[in-house]
């Protein structure tokens, strides 16, 4: 499944940069760019057989409640991911891909925060800490199969892509678009 999801995201990213280069160069807002990527990612996921999944930009709900994680100090943190590929709780394997995007002019600390969030979101669990609501559903989210941090530099027409899996940083790619 991981390799299939990686392929879906890679193909989506290629199509995104091909179709959105004018918007990127024009300085269009990150929220708009994430929505445009979502419009490419969802049909690619459906074509690959993930028909019960949706790509949502700026999604912040977990079964009707505000989406939260536990940070490295076990503090509850509200989150609002830039882009998610998930089933909105309909499938057992609900969480597939989480994406955080930043444009190059943003402060470096935002990248650090986003990467830490992706590390936590891709953890398979909270280190055996059982945190459930009264209905025995997980209260905090984790278990995304893949996490991606996408940094875009319009001035140099480059992007950096960091991949996270199983709560760990995997690799970083730097490419021209």
pLDDT digit string, tens, across residues 104-121: 999 999 999 999 999 999
Nearest CA among 39, 76, 33 for reference residue 55: 39
pLDDT of residue 97 exceeding 80, the answer is yes
Residues 164, 146: contact at Cβ < 8 Å?
yes
Measured distance CA(5)–CA(44) in Å, rounded: 10
Strand partners, 169: 164
pLDDT of residue 130 exceeding 50, the answer is no
Q: What is the pLDDT of residue 71?
A: 73
Q: Which residue did the predictor score with more confidence, 49 or 59?
A: 49
- Mean pLDDT across 144-151: 97
Nearest CA among 56, 150, 163, 52 for reference residue 106: 150
Nearest CA among 130, 115, 132 for reference residue 170: 115
Strand partners, 153: 158
- CATH topology assigned to domain 2-176: tt1808, chain A (3.90.1570)
Helices (H), 105-147: 108-121
* 168 DSSP assignment: E
């Amino acid at each position: 499944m991981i390799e299939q999801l990686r392929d879906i995201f890679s193909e989506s990213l290629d199509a995104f940069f091909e179709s959105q280069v004018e918007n990127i160069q024009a300085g269009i807002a990150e929220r708009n760019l994430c929505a445009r990527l979502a419009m490419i990612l969802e049909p690619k996921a459906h074509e690959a057989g993930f028909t019960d999944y949706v790509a949502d930009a700026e999604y912040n709900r977990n079964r009707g409640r505000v989406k939260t994680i536990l940070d490295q100090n076990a503090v509850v943190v509200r989150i609002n991911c830039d882009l998610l590929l998930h089933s909105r709780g309909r499938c057992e394997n609900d969480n597939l891909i989480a994406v955080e995007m930043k444009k190059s002019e943003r402060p470096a600390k935002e990248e650090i925060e986003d990467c830490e969030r992706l590390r936590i979101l891709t953890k398979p669990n909270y280190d055996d800490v059982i945190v459930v609501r009264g209905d025995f559903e997980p209260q905090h989210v984790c278990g995304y199969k893949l996490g991606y941090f996408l940094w875009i530099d319009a001035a140099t027409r480059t992007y950096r892509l960091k991949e996270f899996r199983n709560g760990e940083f995997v690799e970083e790619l730097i490419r021209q678009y």
